């Protein structure tokens, strides 16, 4: 699968409530910044994503401007994404216009996220 397909499949897995950790590079240096957290190291990323999947439902992930580039075994992406979900513990629906960026590495023929950053504008908080 190519790098763009990997990013799009991550979005689909998020919408579907499927495991997200397999999309990330299993390395101590992997990092994921979300709207309210910083997860560093594969174990922290995997645990954080598992908890997110466990406590949320009804995801909407709508890509508006995905750009993916690769050079050899390295790649990067950026996107404008509308996302929404329901927090099952609080019973609150959240909606945000967000900006995504990340780095990708191809390992044994598979693209993995080495770093991801998701943010929103101040007025979106």
Domain ranges of the chain: 3-124
Query: What's the whole-number average pLDDT of the chain?
Result: 95
Which tokens go with 73?
């075994």
Query: What dihedral do alpha carbons 78, 107, 114, 57 form, nearest 10°?
Result: 80
Mean pLDDT (whole number) for 92-100: 96
The predicted-structure confidence for 98-112, as pLDDT tens digits, reads as follows 999 999 999 999 999
User: With 0-12 CB in 10 A as exposed, 13-18 as middle and 19+ as buried, what is 117?
Assistant: middle
Strand partners, 97: 82
The length of the chain is: 125
Give the list of residues 6+ apart from residue 91 with CB closer than 8 angstroms, or none.
Answer: none
Global pTM?
0.93
List the CATH code of the domain at 3-124: 3.10.450.50
Which tokens go with 67?
């750009």
% of the chain exceeding 70 in pLDDT: 97
């Amino acid at each position: 699968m190519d790098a763009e397909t990997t990013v799009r499949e991550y979005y689909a897995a998020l919408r579907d409530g499927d495991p997200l950790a397999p999309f990330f590079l299993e390395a101590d240096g992997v990092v994921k910044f979300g709207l309210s957290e910083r997860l560093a190291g594969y174990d922290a990323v995997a645990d954080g994503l598992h908890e997110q999947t466990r406590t949320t439902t009804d995801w909407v992930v709508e890509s508006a401007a995905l750009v993916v580039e690769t050079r050899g075994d390295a790649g990067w992406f950026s996107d404008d994404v509308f996302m929404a979900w329901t927090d099952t513990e609080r019973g609150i629906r959240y909606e945000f216009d967000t900006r995504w960026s990340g780095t990708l590495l191809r390992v044994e023929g598979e693209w993995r996220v080495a770093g991801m950053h998701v943010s929103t504008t101040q007025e979106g908080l």
